[in-house]
Structure 1
């Protein structure tokens, strides 16, 4: 009978790795510590009744490799033997995976924990610098990901290991500072009376901010989707969209600076996700770094902390691969999250 197990023993190879979001699931198989991962086409959650069906039909039926274990990064809290995803009908049942799919060992972690694992080693073509750079330091780092929601995680460097620190940083309060902010804030959609960072810094947050700007300026909103807003903003074809993205990067810079101080992230702050990649031209304008560094009395320190956009197309899977190859280099907690046959 499969049971929860708190062992820190390495996962047995071959290892199935999965980055499971609300809409898409990405999988790869790592045959051994020296191998390159075998990647599989993205799977749409809506096309499969269960995650087990997706793994069987989308991975196992298409590969001669027989994974002995699995490490899955999921968008949702991990509690108990049945783990529902936040924005999907899928439920992860590790005991069932062991019984039906032939795994010996299943580890489930948070999706932004995997993003944090990735930024331990991203260099060169896998990232793009925003603002001044410096030589990589073996120092704590942080990652923020505006996407469907807003993910935040830290990566603390201690005792010669990288320790990912997941959390719900996307739901901290975000407040107005400038005169323009004070005009806009009353028109932002709230959640139970408060404006969290995720109410502004994600896809629907872009829409929230755009509609608030239109309301203040007496403009009829014409753009429906986040992609429409960013496209028109970058092309300079819609004034309200331009201001939306300008303020978006300003607020993202403020939050990124706060997170940098929270984790003392001298090793850098990384922006992940599709929105960050799409708005790189806006992030490279002065507003983002100015807001990031505007942290008196610690502005001088913030000026020394580099910021990057993660451009690796499969960053979370890269993070899981790094952990699978060398688990002793990472302080990944397994309590309540690992099941063994």
Structure 2
């Protein structure tokens, strides 16, 4: 019987993979290139002073497997040996992690690069389509996800590789288009006068939107948390909460359409994150799809582009695992983001 060919990789197994967001950190270990990931309990970032403590408690203390490498996806820019997270107090020190956690090497990438890696291979069972588009297998793709913030990334195909394109697309301007929008916009909390996508399309953004809707109607807001707004919509007890959910999905559709145009994403635009999966049963899919397609003079192009919701439970970890197993299939630049002992 012929031996299995070992895949090429520049990382040593076992590999610790981690998806580090503003609120939660999720970890798994790949024992070898053929093993399924071993997942660990989600760590709340506010519970731990450092990422090193979270890894020790949630991973190393829970298994006899000692990882030799780590690939971490983080919500924030990667510049130098001290890496700050955008919406979290943690600071990642890769050289310290190597010295103190017994690792030989650490790779750090942007969290939405990991989401982009994941959408290279998501099947129908891991995604749900909104509306109808024409999926083109080798075409460019994009992913965006409302969470603690709003992440955006692209995925392009070149030289037989998938190349993730990271950026800060969640901070592009989001403007008023309808009369109702123009009533709401003056009441939105801004950043130095700007209403960016992230000011509306994330957890705190949903609260910002809801409260602006209330103020536009001369009412005092009742809710201060995203879960309260969602619950009020589910029970049908608050018209302003209902409108906030409706407009959230419409504005997300608009922004997803903008990102589709940036990348000519004929392979689809994918929406990630737990917030949107939670409100998916509450939205009007037809109106969201209409907002996605309403991009004159390119409406005909937009009608062909698929819009998906990612239903995979841990898409970022799936993307990191795919990269760790077969890095040659991905044009992921690691210069300045790869530390060795």
TM-score, normalised with respect to structure 2: 0.94
8 Å CA contact 2:189, 2:208 repeated in 1: yes
d(CA) in 2 for partners of 1:132, 1:283: 17
Secondary structure of the residue aligned to 1:279 is helix
Alignment of 1:1-341 (within 5 A): 10-135=10-135, 137-341=137-341
CA distance change for structure 1 residues 119 and 242 in 2, over 3 Å: closer, same or farther?
same
Question: Shift of the alpha carbon at 1:283?
Answer: 4.1
d(CA) in 2 for partners of 1:133, 1:66: 45
CA distance change for structure 1 residues 284 and 310 in 2, over 3 Å: closer, same or farther?
farther
d(CA) in 2 for partners of 1:47, 1:184: 36
CA distance change for structure 1 residues 329 and 201 in 2, over 3 Å: closer, same or farther?
same
Between the two proteins, the alignment pairs up a number of residues equal to 334
Q: Which runs of 5+ in 2 are unaligned?
A: 1-7
CA distance change for structure 1 residues 336 and 47 in 2, over 3 Å: closer, same or farther?
same
Q: Which residue of 1 aligns with 2:3?
A: none
RMSD: 1.5
Question: Shift of the alpha carbon at 1:200?
Answer: 1.0
Q: Which residue of 2 aligns with 1:3?
A: none
CA distance change for structure 1 residues 9 and 201 in 2, over 3 Å: closer, same or farther?
same
d(CA) in 1 for partners of 2:240, 2:126: 32
Question: Shift of the alpha carbon at 1:115?
Answer: 0.9
8 Å CA contact 2:245, 2:283 repeated in 1: no
8 Å CA contact 1:68, 1:102 repeated in 2: yes
CA distance change for structure 1 residues 140 and 336 in 2, over 3 Å: closer, same or farther?
same
Q: Which runs of 4+ in 1 moved over 3 A?
A: 133-136
Query: Could you give the per-residue CA deviations for residues 5-48 of structure 1, whole angstroms, max 9, x where no partner exists?
Result: xxx96211111101112222111110111110111111122332
Q: Which residue of 1 aligns with 2:4?
A: none
Query: Could you give the per-residue CA deviations for residues 98-152 of structure 1, whole angstroms, max 9, x where no partner exists?
Result: 1121211110001111111111111233211111144552211111111111111
Query: Could you give the per-residue CA deviations for residues 157-187 of structure 1, whole angstroms, max 9, x where no partner exists?
Result: 1221111111111110111111111111111
TM-score, normalised with respect to structure 1: 0.94
d(CA) in 2 for partners of 1:247, 1:58: 38
Question: Shift of the alpha carbon at 1:340?
Answer: 1.1
d(CA) in 1 for partners of 2:53, 2:64: 17
d(CA) in 2 for partners of 1:337, 1:275: 29
Question: Shift of the alpha carbon at 1:94?
Answer: 0.9
d(CA) in 2 for partners of 1:188, 1:48: 33
Question: Shift of the alpha carbon at 1:58?
Answer: 1.9
